[in-house]
Structure 1
Amino acid sequence: MATKTEKEAGEPFWMRPLDELTRPQWEKLCDGCGRCCLVKLEDEDSGEIYHTSVGCDLLDGDTGRCRDYAGRQTKVPDCVRLTLKALAGIAWLPPTCAYRLRAEGKPLPEWHPLLTGDPASVHTAGVSVRGRVAAREQEVETDDLPNFIVLWPKRWPRRKKGRAA
């Protein structure tokens, strides 16, 4: 049986079980798509979750990243800190989410920045929120949020000619 050191030398960290990752490795799993930072609505009767094209006030719609990641939970109290424990109870993560994929024992998608070495690959593949955020949360009245429901955050991107996505 291989020791942890031998195991680490032979496989990329993201292929290891999530509970073996260090905090910095855990953070690197995020591809920066920003889909988890879109405002979501829950149907009170069915429990179904609907994503909107409205972004959290801290979401940068161009980069897919938080404008104040370190201070996000102070500024946005309902911001979810994704941990291994929390992951088990979050049904709204997009199917492309590296945390979700790895928790399900699946590999990272070929466009993931850890595989490509290019942080922009998530945008090139059409996975990110870039160009899709219609408004910031503070700009939309709660009663108007249903007008912003979109389906794409729950879907894999379509394949484009000449490349896989």
Structure 2
Amino acid sequence: MPVNGEAMENGNSPFWKTKRLEDMTPAEWESLCDGCGRCCLNKLEDWETGEIAWTSVACRLLDDGSCRCVDYPNRQATVPDCIPLSPEKVREISWLPPTCGYRLVAEGRDLYWWHHLVSGDPDSVHEAGVSVRGRTVSEEGMELEDFEHHLAAWPGQVPRMRRPRR
């Protein structure tokens, strides 16, 4: 998959700037995930207002170090309420992180500098301080009532991203 710089050198715009979500290949679609892990954090919804409250409680399948699902192909068998993303879902779901590649492309916006398709480095999302790495607790063994003790605003915000020193 070419990164932004490579695509520009060839005189072509990167696929996320020229294709609709519906027109992407499976590989292009999957590559839009920046690996931040924010969408794998549990959210609490107020049934009366619909307001979403983020927590730092991670899905039991999220690896806190890599910020990736440990059983992505079979995740719904283990976590039935895991919502697989589709172009339609991306446009419907209000709780996708504001930095999410799927959300940005659906809104006609560009990817951030730290996205691996732009930077060419899958670790840049972590180096920029955008990922959940080292900031979560697992839901494993936790009672739902205890989630409210782990409320966090940061997953739903655009972070102050730091460029790594090289």
Name structure 1 gaps, 5 residues minimum: 1-7
State the SS of the aligned residue for 1:153.
Answer: helix
2:38 to 31, 35, 51: 35
When the two chains are superposed, the root-mean-square deviation of aligned CA atoms in Å is: 1.7
Per-residue deviation, residues 72-120 of structure 1 (Å, max 9, x unmatched): 0111111010001111210000100000011000000011011111000
Q: Which residue is 1:105 aligned to?
A: 108
Q: Which residue is 1:139 aligned to?
A: 141
CA positional deviation for 1:138: 2.0
Aligned length: 155
CA positional deviation for 1:9: 6.9
Q: Which residue is 1:61 aligned to?
A: 64
TM-score by length of structure 2 reads 0.88
Name structure 2 gaps, 5 residues minimum: 1-9
Measure, in 2, the Cα distance between the counterparts of 1:146 and 1:13: 40
Letter in structure 2 aligned against 1:114:
L
Measure, in 2, the Cα distance between the counterparts of 1:159 and 1:32: 15
Per-residue deviation, residues 39-59 of structure 1 (Å, max 9, x unmatched): 110011211111111100000
Percentage identity across paired residues of the two chains = 52
Measure, in 2, the Cα distance between the counterparts of 1:10 and 1:78: 39
Q: Which residue is 2:155 aligned to?
A: 153
State the SS of the aligned residue for 1:87.
Answer: helix
